[in-house]
Every structure is written in C-alpha cells, then in structure tokens.
C-alpha cells in the first residue's frame, strides 16, 4: 500500500513495486559468503553512504572529531566537513607506515571515528595487523576499517573477527574486484547495535530493485570474479616490473590493490603528456608524502601496454 502503479511499467521486467528496504535476500547471500549474520550487515549506495551515515549517527556537529591518516581516501574528510565534525590527522610516515603515537596524540574524549584504509588509497599498502589490533584496543570510538581493495590482497579480511571487537566496522564494496561500480553497492559489517543505527537513519529505499537483483546474480558467479582478479594481479606484477625499467620512473611502491603508486621525475608534465596520449591516470603529487606521484590503475593488458609505451616515449 505505497501508491504504486498497479498496472506496472512499460518495461518487460516488473519494477512497479518498491524494493525491500532491508534488502533481506541480498544480505542473506552476502552473510553466507562472509560468515556473518544478516543483522551484522548494512547495505548502502556505495561505501560512501556508510561513511556518511557513520558520521551522521555517531558524531555531534561542532563537538566531536574524527581521526584520519593522510594520505588516504578523500571522502572521509569530505563527509566530516559536511557533518560538522572536526578533522584531526595522524599522518602516515614518509614510507607510508602508520604512526600509532600520532593517532594517540590526536585522540581525545570527543574522538568518535578512526578511519583506516587497508589497502590504503592512494598508497596501495595494507596496514599491519598489530597496528589495527592496537587501535581496536586503545581508540575510544569506532574503528572504521575500509577494505574496498581487500580482494586484491592476500591478507584475510577483518570481517572474520567482528565477534572479537564491538568497536570494529569493516567497509567493503562490489565496485572494485566485483566490477560493479555502476551499481553502487557498499557494505558495512559491524555488531548489530551499530548496524541498527545505520538502518534507522538511512533513506528507506537506498538500493533499487534492479541493483539488488543484479548484485545477487553477480554473487552467484564468484569464480568469474576470481578469474578476473587473477588476471589483474598478474598484470599488476608485470606493470611493476616494466615500470621500473622506464627512465622517467623513479620508484614503484608495493601494492596490495588494483593500482600502483608511481613516483616519476615530473608528475605534472608526465600527467599532461599521458592525457594528451589518451592515457588517464591520477596525479597525487599534492598529497602528503606523494610528491611527484601518479596513481595508475591496472588496466587490461592492452591498456597497460599503451601506458608503458607512452611513458617510454616521454622526453624531458
């Protein structure tokens, strides 16, 4: 009784009814794969919705703060600014390792969220387990571990340890390894009390029926996903090897993701040169510790060949 059109739509497939606001069938499928209960899952319009709701639900504007570890994913700061939460930083060290003492120094009684990105964007590296454990033990608020790129890493997901830590929130997505960025399906895994808060403040129908059906279909085809991930990992290794042979490349940082952070001789000029040659990368040289760094997504073999060829032809 939601005043839908009882005669349906012009489409062959029926979308005349509103979707299940709790996405129970999709959550059940995910729960089986992840080894958790459906009640421990929040599904949103990308992980960005979960980030938005965590700030909305757990931070009081003008009073509470969040801790970020730059360089890291930009949406944490964007959402914190939108919701009036103070941003405190505990920068990574120049080698991109975490600084536990900096986190502790930035933390006070109003610190509600600590955002950890592992593998980190844009550096590509996973955070050490002992650091994450230390944060889970010491931080007074929620530790939000963003695992958007975890399927490209050999390290196990922290979702399997949800029952050990009531303050752990793990973010994942179907946008990266699953190749479903256009569907916008983000996942948050946490204890039921945290999930209940997110469900109470989300929009009722935040995932469409089409999105839910397509996501369920994709989850039944995990071998295809794993096959594509294997190809990307092989291409990542090839790119890492070949890039180090190119004159304008100074360093290729190790990566646990589907991208590489590459230090070059002149990031601005090389970025412009690549754009002019139809190769699009991300210039990260304005971020902390990322001087003259480009972030390169691992593409198809043909795309990677074009990147390598273009860089080889660059002349200072």
Mean pLDDT for 109-131 is 98
Mean pLDDT for 66-81 is 97
pLDDT of residue 175: 96
pLDDT of residue 4: 84
pLDDT of residue 16: 87
Whole-number Å distance between alpha carbons of 80 and 85: 5
pLDDT digits (tens, 9 = 90+) for 159-175: 999 999 999 999 999 99
Burial of 201 (0-12, 13-18, 19+ CB in 10 A): exposed
Given a contact cutoff of 8 angstroms between Cβ atoms, the answer to whether 74 and 117 are in contact is no
* Structural domain contains residue 11: no
* Structural domain contains residue 168: yes
pLDDT digits (tens, 9 = 90+) for 163-219: 999 999 999 999 999 999 999 999 999 999 999 999 999 999 999 999 999 999 999
Mean pLDDT for 38-59 is 97
Whole-number Å distance between alpha carbons of 205 and 45: 10
Domain end point (choices 185, 220, 255): 220
Planar angle of CA 55, 112, 190, nearest 5 degrees? 70
Q: Does 174 share its domain with 239?
A: no
Q: Does 167 share its domain with 227?
A: no
Percentage of the chain lying above the pLDDT 70 cut: 100
Q: Does 62 share its domain with 176?
A: yes
pLDDT of residue 193: 97
Please state, in angstroms and as integers, the Cα–Cα distance from residue 247 to each residue in 195, 261, 282, 291, 310, following that order.
50, 16, 20, 17, 12
pTM: 0.95
Confidence check: pLDDT of 7 > 90: no
Mean pLDDT for 30-50 is 97
- Which domain CATH number covers 241? 3.90.1150.10
Q: Does 89 share its domain with 53?
A: yes
* Structural domain contains residue 5: no
Domain end point (choices 186, 220, 254): 220
Q: Does 44 share its domain with 164?
A: yes
* Structural domain contains residue 17: no
Mean pLDDT for 249-274 is 97
Beta bridge partners of 127: none
Beta bridge partners of 297: 259
Q: What is the DSSP letter of 160?
A: G
Q: Does 143 share its domain with 194?
A: yes
Counting the structural domains of the chain, the total is: 2
Following DSSP, what letter does each residue of 249-262 receive, concatenated? EEEE---SSSEEEE
* Parent domain of 90: 24-220
């Amino acid at each position: 009784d939601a005043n839908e059109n009882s005669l349906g739509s012009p489409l062959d497939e029926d979308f005349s009814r509103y979707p299940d606001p709790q996405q129970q069938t999709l959550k059940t499928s995910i729960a089986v794969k992840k080894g958790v209960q459906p009640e421990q899952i929040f599904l949103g319009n990308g992980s960005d919705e979960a980030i938005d709701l965590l700030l909305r639900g757990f931070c009081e504007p003008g009073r509470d703060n969040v801790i970020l570890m730059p360089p890291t994913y930009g949406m944490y700061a964007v959402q914190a600014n939108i919701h009036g939460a103070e941003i405190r930083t505990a920068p990574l060290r120049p080698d991109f390792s975490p600084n536990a003492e900096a986190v502790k120094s930035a933390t006070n009684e109003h610190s509600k969220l600590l955002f950890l990105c592992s593998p980190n964007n844009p550096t590509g590296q996973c955070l050490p387990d002992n650091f994450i454990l230390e944060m889970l033990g010491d931080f007074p608020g929620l530790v939000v571990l963003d695992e958007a790129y975890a399927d490209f890493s050999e390290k196990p997901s922290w979702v399997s340890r949800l029952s050990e830590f009531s303050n752990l929130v793990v973010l994942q997505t179907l946008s990266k390894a699953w190749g479903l960025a256009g569907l916008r399906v983000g996942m948050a895994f946490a204890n039921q009390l945290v999930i209940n808060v997110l469900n109470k403040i989300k929009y009722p129908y935040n995932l469409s029926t089409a999105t839910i059906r397509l996501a369920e279909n994709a989850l039944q085809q995990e071998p295809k996903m794993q096959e594509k991930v294997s190809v990307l990992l092989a291409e990542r290794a090839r790119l890492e090897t070949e890039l180090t042979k190119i004159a304008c490349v100074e360093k290729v940082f190790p990566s646990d993701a589907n991208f590489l952070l590459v230090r070059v001789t002149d990031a601005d000029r090389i970025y412009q040169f690549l754009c002019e040659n139809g190769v699009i990368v991300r210039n990260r040289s304005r971020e902390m510790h990322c001087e003259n760094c480009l972030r390169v997504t691992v593409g198809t073999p043909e795309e990677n060949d074009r990147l390598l060829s273009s860089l080889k032809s660059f002349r200072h």
